[in-house]
Amino acid sequence: MVNISKSFGEIKANDNITFSVNYGEIYALLGENGAGKSTLVNMLSGVYTPDSGEIYVHDKKLRFSSPGDSIGSGIGMIHQHFKLIEIMTAAENIIIGQKRSFIIHRKKLKKTINSISEKYGFKTDPDKYIYDMSVGEKQSVEILKVLYRGADILILDEPTAVLTPQETEKLFTILKKMKEQGCAVIIITHKLHEVMEISDRVTVLRRGEVAGTVNTSETNPKELTAMMVGKAVDLSIDRPAILKDEVMLEVKDLSLIDRDGIKKLNRVSFNVKAGEILGIAGVAGSGQKELCESIQGLERRKRGEILFRGEDIARLTPRAIFERGLRISFIPEDRLGMGLVPTMNIVDNVIMKDYYLQKSLFLDREPARERAEHIVKMLNVHTPGIYHPVNQLSGGNIQKVLLGREIDANPDFLVTAYPTRGLDIGSSHLIYDELNRQKMKGVGVIYVGEDLNVLLSLCDRIMVLFEGRVIGTVDASTATKEDIGFMMLGGKEC
Amino acid sequence: MLRMSARTDCSRNEAVIIRTSAILLALSAVAVFIMLLGHNPLSVYLSMIEGAFGSGYRITETIRKAIPLIVASLGISLAFRLKFWNIGAEGQIMMGAFGATFFALNFQNLPSVILLPLMGLASIICGGIWGAIPAYFRAKFRTNETIFTLMMNYIALKWLTYLQYGPWKDPGALGFPKIPGFTENAVLPAFFGLHIGWIIAVLLIVIMHIFVNHTKRGYEINVVGESENTGRYAGMNVKFIIIYTIFLSGGLCGLAGMIEASGVNKTLSVEITRGVGYTAIITSWLSSLRAPVIAIVCILFAAMIQGGTFIQMAFQIPQSAAQILQGMILFFVLGSEFFIKYKISIINDNKAEANQ
């Protein structure tokens, strides 16, 4: 790609980017969120058209105007969110969109798929239905799909975001095989250790520009981070010791059956001490969301006890909990769909939880205005003003507004679900620091996370959920990623 | 090749320009239609304005038509704020008029200071209940409120038809199916040449503006309308908010029905709404649910209807021509929303290279 530029409105997503990938090499594109990685590969895969610049494949200048053009020239894109049809088998998914013939030669198809699988080391059964597959298997089908179409340039967008460590290991083995077979592999990621582990060369993007291209063997994580952020950053996360030995929240035999009759939580029991951060790990959809909402009082269809300083709050609504003087702050996973009102300004969002305490019929926004200003200053929120709608802020700043409101309420207990999802390194660390500050104040914290490295270094203990059950709780200072990954799959061999 | 991209930078001025040009485009599109009918569009348009605002009497008539439209639009805007697609204003107006008429016919001896407020209250409650029924089912069972409120319209219409042809038929009308006229004490008094409905409308605009922007209840409606989940998360009783807001929405529409029955028709008939319930959907949407804007848009719409009646007489153009104009304006303005949200740019495309 030579001198590629692309703008969205006023924003330059990519500015004069040039890079090249050789066959037989694994190439990493590294950058923070919003650095322009996805835009770049979307142009390569024909989803977007560049404003200027040229793309050469096999020394031939090409201009893609649709994903079809891109596939035709041997580029295969594996998206972060799979595009598979659940009720079809792997083989059926693989041939979707192929125009070659009207009749499907199942036998021949299976043979072709099996030979590709063998070549690269996949263990995929072509007749297995997608809905029966684990996330890792689904990803294999996605890769097989592009290989079947004859792709020899593979682009993987954040391929490990949804995988357990074991599955990641397998994926990397496959990628290395592909490299040996002469494919060009491009992986997009913001995880440094993966770049170090698997790539041959890496290009770092920063704010839509190339910050540098280096050979992986000649660099180290520190240097890469500095390139990503533009300055040296301390990557370590503190873990202050727990001050008191006082159990703040105790959950006993919590079960929950959802509207469709599916058991989301199954006799979950645990406790959190004052001044402790309890991490919750698990594959997406293992009951984390339901657990958080149960504690906060949002989920009503539950059984069991939730004792907060000895008082059972399991049957109370959020407001009833609040009225008893128990301050449970909650940072939900869905920031704009639950935590905030996207079209409202910061002031109106800040007032959301306690406006009803005002005596008058009318709404006095003055105290909220002061608090909004305080939050903007305290967390360094980048906004044109406190009367700016929150959905026009960037992801990190949106999260800061939400975190600011929840912390400013002086909580006794803080439930956070993926608080740093989508945030860049700088903002993430700001949030870890803030959580630690709350911890030092004696606040009990539940931290639902997906990055095991962060969970291991931030939390005191980590509880692993699988299909709504507690598989086990480990001490974060002694556990390893592999232990947790193993438990995330229910303790079964994957 | 044309390419569209989302824009976030559309200023209020630009939006006004885009919307105004949409209306101008609509006018020119209808101009073609008028020319096909063999008239000069410019003189037709001018005489529409003339017909709507040309004299004191015409202005009064225009405002008379605007009053129910304003009150019903305010009601609908409240429901739309909650993203509750209430298209049942028509039925709520009818039920409101029914409630008012019940008191007008059965308590003829009460003095009007008592009777009129009673009628108003009855209309609000009847219209409100008519709205709260679908709201209850939506809040409890997530039924589709669009279909539900629409169907409620037909029930209300058939109920009025039954009354008009059955129990409430005027015995003195020689078998003609009509409901008896209201006695003098059940008719809204006039003020400055027009029944006092206009004062009610002005008051409601102010109250609505304050309610939505400066009260706790109004704030809740805005939050829940944006996202029910956020409302639940903030500890609001979302179901209750939905039900009472739609009760208010239906109640306002019901009040519009009472104003029409008592102030204009001085009786109840199946034609009581004259489509106000549907036109109000258009006007509240065009005003982006803002109360002060609703007043302006409703008066313009009423002017269009009034002017339409006038050109019918002056040019022998069917009044439907004015309705076509309404439809066109709506079509163009809704279409222009696209240009407010997206920017269209032309890019040079040499696609041929890709297929070599």
Residue A242 resides in a domain: no
Most confident of A4-8, A72-76, A92-96, A153-157: A153-157
Which residue, among A226, A294, A297, A308, has the nearest Cα to A265 in the 3D structure? A294
Spell out which residues of chain A touch residue B9, defining contact as CB-CB under 8 Å. Answer: 9-10
Question: What percent of chain B has a predicted confidence (pLDDT) above 70?
Answer: 93
Q: Do the Cβ atoms of B214 and A9 come within 8 Å?
A: no
Mark whether A225 and A252 lie in a shared domain: no
Mean pLDDT over the full length of chain A: 81
Mean pLDDT of A100-119: 75
Of the candidates A229, A258, A276, which is a domain's last residue? A229
Given a cut of 90, whether residue A484 has pLDDT beyond it is: no
B341 interfaces chain A, CB cutoff of 8 Å: no
**Residue range B55-316, CATH number:** 1.10.3470
Spell out which residues of chain A touch residue B351, defining contact as CB-CB under 8 Å. Answer: 63, 65
Q: Got the DSSP string for A165-229?
A: HHHHHHHHHHHHHHHHTT-EEEEEES-HHHHHHH-SEEEEEETTEEEEEEEGGG--HHHHHHHHH
Spell out which residues of chain A touch residue B289, defining contact as CB-CB under 8 Å. Answer: none
* Long-range contacts, B282-290 (Cβ 8 Å, 24+): B282/B326, B282/B330, B283/B69, B283/B73, B284/B73, B284/B74, B284/B76, B284/B77, B284/B80, B285/B80, B285/B334, B286/B330, B286/B333, B287/B73, B287/B77, B289/B77, B289/B80, B289/B81, B290/B77, B290/B209
Range of weakest confidence among A226-230, A366-370, B103-107, B217-221 = A226-230
Question: What percent of chain A has a predicted confidence (pLDDT) above 70?
Answer: 92
**Residue B91: predicted pLDDT:** 94
Size of interface A-B (CB pairs under 8 A): 91
Q: Suggest the residue from B230, B236, B344, B355 to mutate for an interface test with chain A (most A CBs closer than 10 A).
A: B230
Q: Do the Cβ atoms of A298 and B227 come within 8 Å?
A: no
Mark whether A162 and A16 lie in a shared domain: yes
**Residue B78: predicted pLDDT:** 94
Residue A241 resides in a domain: no
Q: How many other CB atoms are there within 10 angstroms of residue A210's CB atom?
A: 20
**Residue B346: predicted pLDDT:** 64
Smallest Cβ distance to A337: which of B210, B227, B343?
A: B227
Q: Is the ipTM of this complex over 0.90?
A: no
**Residue B6: predicted pLDDT:** 63
Given a cut of 70, whether residue A423 has pLDDT beyond it is: yes
Given a cut of 50, whether residue A494 has pLDDT beyond it is: no
Mark whether A270 and A139 lie in a shared domain: no
Residue of B nearest to A55 (CA): B354
Residue A361: give the domain boundaries: 247-488
Which residue, among A58, A77, A52, A81, has the nearest Cα to A66 in the 3D structure? A77
B343 interfaces chain A, CB cutoff of 8 Å: yes
Mark whether A97 and A213 lie in a shared domain: yes
Given a cut of 60, whether residue A3 has pLDDT beyond it is: no
Q: Suggest the residue from A341, A347, A405, A406 to mutate for an interface test with chain B (most B CBs closer than 10 A).
A: A341
Residue of B nearest to A330 (CA): B233
CATH of the domain at A256: 3.40.50.300
A102 interfaces chain B, CB cutoff of 8 Å: no
Number of domains in chain A: 2
Mean pLDDT of A457-474: 88
> And the tokens for B158?
């058939």
Mean pLDDT over the full length of chain B: 86
pLDDT in tens, B229-273: 898 888 888 999 999 999 999 999 999 999 999 888 888 988 888
Residue A235 resides in a domain: no
B113 interfaces chain A, CB cutoff of 8 Å: no
Residue A116 resides in a domain: yes
**Residue B7: predicted pLDDT:** 63
A window 20-39, beta carbon within 8 A of B = none
Residue type, A315: R
Mark whether A199 and A257 lie in a shared domain: no
Q: Do the Cβ atoms of B232 and A298 come within 8 Å?
A: yes
Q: Suggest the residue from B81, B227, B351 to mutate for an interface test with chain A (most A CBs closer than 10 A).
A: B227
pLDDT in tens, A32-44: 766 677 777 777 7
Alpha-carbon dihedral B321, B324, B325, B327, rounded to 10 degrees: 160
Query: Which position has the token pair 């997503």?
Result: A13
Break chain B into its structural domains and give their ranges.
55-316
Given a cut of 50, whether residue A24 has pLDDT beyond it is: yes
Residue ranges of chain B with per-residue pLDDT less than 70: 1-12, 345-356
Mark whether A364 and A482 lie in a shared domain: yes
**Residue B147: predicted pLDDT:** 93
Mean pLDDT of A334-363: 85
**Residue A100: predicted pLDDT:** 60
